[in-house]
Amino acid sequence: MRPVRRKLLAAPAAVAGAAALLVLPGCDLQEDADLDNGRTMFVEKCGTCHAFTEAGTQAEIGPDLDAAFKAARETGMDDDTIEGVVEGQIANPRFTDPDDPAYMPADLVVGDDAKDVAAYVAEFAGVPGVEPPIPPDAGPGAEVFLTQGCGSCHTLSELGDVATGTVGPNLDEVIPGQSPEQVEQSIVDPNAEITQGFPEGVMPDTYEDLPPKELQDLVEFLIESAGKGQ
């Protein structure tokens, strides 16, 4: 994982207005930010609601951070300004009703973690050509897992800190002993059999649109890897 430097969350309309209040362009806010920690915190705390290419997350509950900050960059906003915007949004997010699925509580991450997340998002959001980090020796199934953002919701120890999600079941615990057919069904029809302790609808049913070869690669990878990296 290469070092990174800054960013996190804000709807496109909020970016421009907040920036003027939070930080002046060109100020070097977090030169020593821990971007690895920022990525880990983002995937764990933010990736279940926000799409962000570098993190491999594809959620649609909150704003797509790449789309939001791509527009901001095109108007001349630099990394330091974006970092300030993100930090401000973490501390004081746009108000929504707590019963709204898009509700984001204030201070979801705090202290150095918040600074690291802001720095991480500011480094990559909306930057052309950014892709999720894929280990050089990753096979096609692991690549599908990472590019589809599975690690933001599931833990799979074989992939280390890029797959530590807790929104969905721990794959090291639920997949061993399953047949390929069962694993495939859990991907394409996740509500057919709900894992105990998790609500219906927590996993989107859009993965049935995966190309057949990618689906096969993903199933084979999960069967081979789950429970092996513990």
Going by pLDDT thresholds of 50, 70 and 90, the confidence category of residue 205 is: confident
What's residue 2's pLDDT? 37
Distances (CA, A) of 158 to 60, 135, 163, 182: 27, 12, 8, 20
Q: Report yes or no on 2 lying in a domain.
A: no
Phi and psi torsions of 41, nearest 5°: -65, -40
Is 145 in the same domain as 197?
Answer: yes
Distances (CA, A) of 14 to 54, 63, 71: 22, 11, 12
pLDDT digits (tens, 9 = 90+) for 46-72: 887 888 988 878 777 889 999 999 999
- Dist CA 133 CA 54 (whole Å): 7
pLDDT above 70 coverage of the chain, percent:
86
Is 106 in the same domain as 158?
Answer: no
Q: How many structural domains are present in the chain?
A: 2
Is 107 in the same domain as 25?
Answer: yes
pLDDT digits (tens, 9 = 90+) for 102-157: 789 999 999 999 999 999 999 999 999 988 777 777 799 998 998 888 887 899 99
Is 74 in the same domain as 164?
Answer: no
Q: What is the domain extent for residue 168?
A: 140-225
Q: Report yes or no on 7 lying in a domain.
A: no
What's residue 164's pLDDT? 81
Residue-wise burial string across 47-79, b where 16 or more C-beta atoms lie within 10 A, e elsewhere: bbbbbbbbbbbbbeebbbbbebbeebbeeebeb
- Dist CA 76 CA 81 (whole Å): 10
Read off the pTM: 0.65
Length of the chain (residues): 230
Q: Report yes or no on 78 lying in a domain.
A: yes
What average pLDDT does the chain have? 83
Query: Residues 34, 113: contact at Cβ < 8 Å?
Result: no
Query: Residues 130, 53: contact at Cβ < 8 Å?
Result: yes
Q: Report yes or no on 213 lying in a domain.
A: yes
Lookup: tokens for 132: 């999720």
DSSP 159: G
Position 4 pLDDT exceeds 60: no
- Dist CA 120 CA 80 (whole Å): 11
